[in-house]
Structure 1
Amino acid sequence: MGTALEAALARRSRSRVGEPAPSREQLLPLVAAASRSADHSSLRPWRLIELRGDARNRLGEALAASAQLDDKDAAKLAAKPLRAPLLIALVTVRRESAKVADWEQDAAAAGVAHTLSLLLDEAGWGVIWRTGPHTRSDAVRRMHALAPNEELLGWLYVGTPERDDSGPKRPVDAEQYISTL
């Protein structure tokens, strides 16, 4: 096991993944570790939903229902959730709080999602965070059975990497993104 810095520098989005995906038992310790992300007032304003098997087909149907497309394009959209054996829906659960604004709760949920993607990558799984214009549609919302205080942030597509994407990633010049006052 390397350092957190090494894991972050090595992380890659894996657009092509296949079987197998991590089991629920393999996911649980990673979710427990990701839950250590910054969370003002320990509200835990997030939850995750596993989509495997037929649940991915139901998501595809909801995506297609949310769009005004011809049959061919609707079928393409409906097939997108089948690009990975496991999808993990990332949900913000906004809690009533006088101290923690909704945006901060969304940020905490996004932090858990990013940390989980980093941990999955470090464990050898392929993962990419996907969103899209239909993420917050009524059909997709109903399919995930979201409560009125919940918002879908997207899905982690998870599985076994199908190709080696470990080559160099374009470096970031950190000097361009940090300033002082």
Structure 2
Amino acid sequence: MTEAPVRAAASRRRSVSKVTDSAPSHGELVELVGAASSVADHSGLRPWRIIEIRGDARLDVGRAIARAGGAEGEAFDKLAQKPLRAPLLVAVVVSRRESRKVPAWEQEATAAGVAHLLSLLLHEAGWGVMWRTGVWTRSPEVAEAHRLAPEEDLLGWLYVGEPAGDDDRERKPVDAEALISSL
């Protein structure tokens, strides 16, 4: 039996930490974000948005991360350079909407679903992707650098670029049976 395309894509997906300076174009990103918008979304609220970060804007993000981390001197410079590890950063933002039916946690889950589906679509299109998060995503300094509104939070960044080498490592097998329970 042939493996279904979605299952095959999910099985091949890997986080790619080393990428070159090549990245998808704005147009390609728009197309993939459009496809990722098919994620489950109770009441069609679209409680998310994407921020495309390229060029020197990556340094602005890095400096905000360094300020949030309280870094100084050489440690500041080192931390501020981290966003330069990829030519494109895709910030995924949960943008909560007023709703009596859809609680905030569900809106955040929708935004996380978009991030995951977008990372899968980017990977399937041949791009290397690493979803990076951390304590700084919820810091005031980083929120300001991303111009987030009060009802928004940053979920993290997809670091995107052309893979810097072949990485055909097999994933560690998961005991799926141990993760399933019954009532």
1:157 equivalent among 156, 159, 166: 159
CA distance in 1, matches of 2:77, 2:136: 15
Q: How does 1:167-178 map to 2 (within 5 A)?
A: 167-178=169-180
List gaps (5 residues or longer) in structure 2.
none
CA deviation string 1:67-112 (max 9, x = no partner):
2223121111101000000000000000000000000000000000
Where in structure 2 are the equivalents of 1:38-53 lying within 5 Å? 38-53=40-55
- Render the CA deviation track for 1:97-145: whole Å, top value 9, x for unaligned: 0000000000000000000000000000000100112111111100100
The one-letter code of the counterpart of 1:138 is: P
Corresponding letter in the other structure for 2:110: A
Residue 62 of structure 1 corresponds to 64
Alignment of 1:1-181 (within 5 A): 3-181=5-183
Q: Which amino acid aligns with 1:89?
A: A
Structure 1-normalised TM-score? 0.97
- Work out the number of aligned pairs and report it: 180
Segments of structure 1 that go 5 or more residues without pairing to the other structure are: none
Moved over 4 A (4+): none
TM superposition score normalised by structure 2: 0.96
CA shift digits 1:4-36 (9 cap, x unpaired): 000000000001112210001111111111000
CA distance in 1, matches of 2:73, 2:20: 26
| Percent identity of equivalent pairs | 59
What secondary structure is seen at the aligned counterpart in 1 of 2:172?
Answer: coil
Cα distance in structure 1, aligned partners of 2:91 and 2:181: 35
Q: Tell me, what secondary structure is at the counterpart of 1:135?
A: helix
